[in-house]
Amino acid sequence: MTKLSGTNLDGGSRPEGRSAWTGLRKQFFAQLQRIGGALMLPIAVLPVAALLLRFGQPDLLNLPILGAAGQAIFDNLGLLFAVGVAIGLARENHGAAGLAAVVAYLVTTQGAQVFITPPAALLALTGQAQALAIEAFKQNELKTLTVPAGILCGLLGGALYNRFHRINLPAYLAFFGGRRFVPILSGVAALALAAAFGLEWQRLELGMDSLSHAVLAAGPWGLFGYGVLNRILIVTGLHHVINSIAWFVLGNYHGHTGDLNRFFAGDPTAGQFMAGFFPVMMFGLPAACLAMYHTALPDRRHAVAGLLASIALTAFLTGVTEPVEFSFMFLAPALYAVHALLTGFAFIIMRALHVRLGFGFSAGLFDYVLNYKFATRPLLLLPVGAAYFGLYYGIFRYAIVRFDLKTPGREEVDSAAAMPAGAASAAASADRARSYITALGGAGNLESVSACTTRLRLTVRTQNTVDVEALKRLGARGVVQPSATALQVVVGPTADLLASEIREAMASMPRESVMALAAAAPATSQPQPASELAATPATSAPAREIVQGLLAALGGRQNVRSIESASSRLRIGVANASAIDRAAIRKLGIRGVAIAAADCVHVIVGPAAEAAGASLRELLA
């Protein structure tokens, strides 16, 4: 008989085994998301490589040094992936993980060469010629495996850093403890990878060739599936995983693997896994923005014009489309499904027309112009793009009006949740990173902070203290909660810079304040019985200290006239607003404070507002 544990939403029981499987699945999903984000760090280097390689060509600047510099980056993608993936996975993105990955990569690639036997023709050579020929042969034999080896070494370096970066060794070995131990252990562990690649390199290459042929043999429907899956997975950020396979693994052209790498190496068949993005990103999604603008409410149209124009221009010029997609992804999932299908069909159309386009960053105008020389039949993008522009505009305008979708400019303005007068100017003058931290539940709620191209990738202690509306007021395009502790905030191309600012600001912010306030409020996901709620004190001891500090920062008892709780904020009537110490309130980790009038102040504390208000009234009684 199956042992039962837990309760379903409908009051029934659920098998303990199913619950355990769900937990493992969520953990695997969270780890896969981290890997997807980590892959973006080395990929971010490719635009520089593409620019150097292109500008060095004879038809542009004709500077061989630039071309050689760009080609050097493409020739060492394996090393770049090793360093980038390791740093992306490591806690605090510490460079020691990158060093560990470099050690692992060198041990793997150089160790694997020992197991490769050169042909007899090379052994017939003598002296330095023989040594150079044998070395070149071994390097060439492993060239197609360098990217997979780099990714594996990056995973190894990041995982070992997270596990052993605080290890304590005996006193006589103490110098090699902590972070210094990680590169040493990575080198030893990489011996297994060296043996695997060295002894099985032919089978590994055969497996990669089989995968490439299977995908390419699928013809247009293989490309269709890739395009649809790419757009569907963007909600979780896992599209980076399949992109890495398509762009850096599939196919082989004189030792260059992957559709992107082969395109810049001059392979006339490369570009199939990139060309289909151009009609959608340069024409389709900007047309969707135009449809949103035309269907916005007349009195709101001017307000959203700047937003829609900026994200449409970003998509057209650079191919960064997530800000557009997140504006309708959750409002109209069926419309987003149509968008994913249209992306798949774009790949079929471009293949049928024998169009081959490539990019170093994404499918935008900049890459289209710079890589025009490498493309095949690039002018056909224009009629296809024009057709996609009309198709997207018509579909989006019809769907928005027919189903009354609340796209930008059509959403209802919630006066209770809207930012009060004076708050906007206060937020504008506040530090951006601190504002995001408080909206995310405070420094104490953030376990890890990283970023990919357009989104913050966060691990939080609890989702209950995250203020989604505050994040949107700060400029976030969308918020995704893949699991109980994983959080993604779409902010656009500034994501990596913002993540760095947040990590720097977290060191100076209190880590307990917001968590203490949150502890005072009952969890919404697990309601307590009425008897337990009645027995629960208004606030815990640490929360009471925060509330006492808040009362003092508000000017003390004599300055507080009234206290009202409203959603996520406290509306406090005061005798003199100038007596309020804003700096002291911010030091408590409170999300925000705004002077709404000369006798009224709004204090934003998140889901714990009701409990904090009750505690303040208790102190005043």
Determine if the pTM surpasses 0.85: no
Homologous superfamily assigned to 423-510: Glucose permease domain IIB (3.30.1360.60)
Rounded mean pLDDT of 583-608? Answer: 74
CA distances to 321, 576, 592, 616, 618 from 552, rounded to whole Å, are 47, 14, 16, 11, 14
On whether the CB atoms of residues 47 and 360 are closer than 8 A, the answer is: yes
pLDDT at res. 543? 56
Beta-strand runs (E) in 11-130: 13-15
CA torsion 240→244→245→246, rounded to 10°?
90
pLDDT at res. 109? 92
Rounded mean pLDDT of 113-126? Answer: 82
Longest CA–CA separation in the chain, Å? 98
> Which residue's structure tokens are 């990041």?
158
pLDDT at res. 609? 73
How big is the chain by its Cα radius of gyration, in Å? 28
The CATH-assigned architecture of domain 537-620 is 2-Layer Sandwich (3.30)
CB-CB neighbours of 59 under 10 Å:
7
Residue 89 has pLDDT above 90, yes or no: no
pLDDT at res. 191? 95
Identify the helix (H) or strand (E) that includes residue 433: helix 432-439
User: Three-state DSSP class for 448?
Assistant: strand
pLDDT at res. 573? 85
pLDDT tens for residues 258-306? 889 899 888 998 999 999 999 999 999 999 999 999 999 888 888 888 8
Residue 587 has pLDDT above 60, yes or no: yes
Q: Spell out the domain ranges in the chain.
A: 21-219+234-264, 272-402, 423-510, 537-620
Question: Which amino acid does the sequence have at 375?
Answer: A
User: Three-state DSSP class for 486?
Assistant: strand
pLDDT tens for residues 499-528? 888 888 876 655 444 444 444 433 333 333
pLDDT at res. 446? 85
pLDDT-derived band at 421, boundaries 50, 70, 90: very low
Residues 6 or more apart whose Cβ sits within 8 Å of residue 179: 94, 96, 161, 165
Lowest mean pLDDT among 274-288, 397-411, 481-495, 582-596: 582-596
Rounded mean pLDDT of 547-556? Answer: 84
CA dihedral sign of residues 195, 196, 200, 201: negative
Task: Give me the chain's average pLDDT, please.
Answer: 79
- Catalytic residue set: 452
Q: What is the Cα–Cα distance from 286 to 282, expressed in whole angstroms?
A: 7
Same fold, 423-510 and 537-620: yes
pLDDT-derived band at 21, boundaries 50, 70, 90: low
Residue 378 has pLDDT above 90, yes or no: yes
On whether the CB atoms of residues 276 and 347 are closer than 8 A, the answer is: yes
Q: What is the Cα–Cα distance from 398 to 291, expressed in whole angstroms?
A: 9
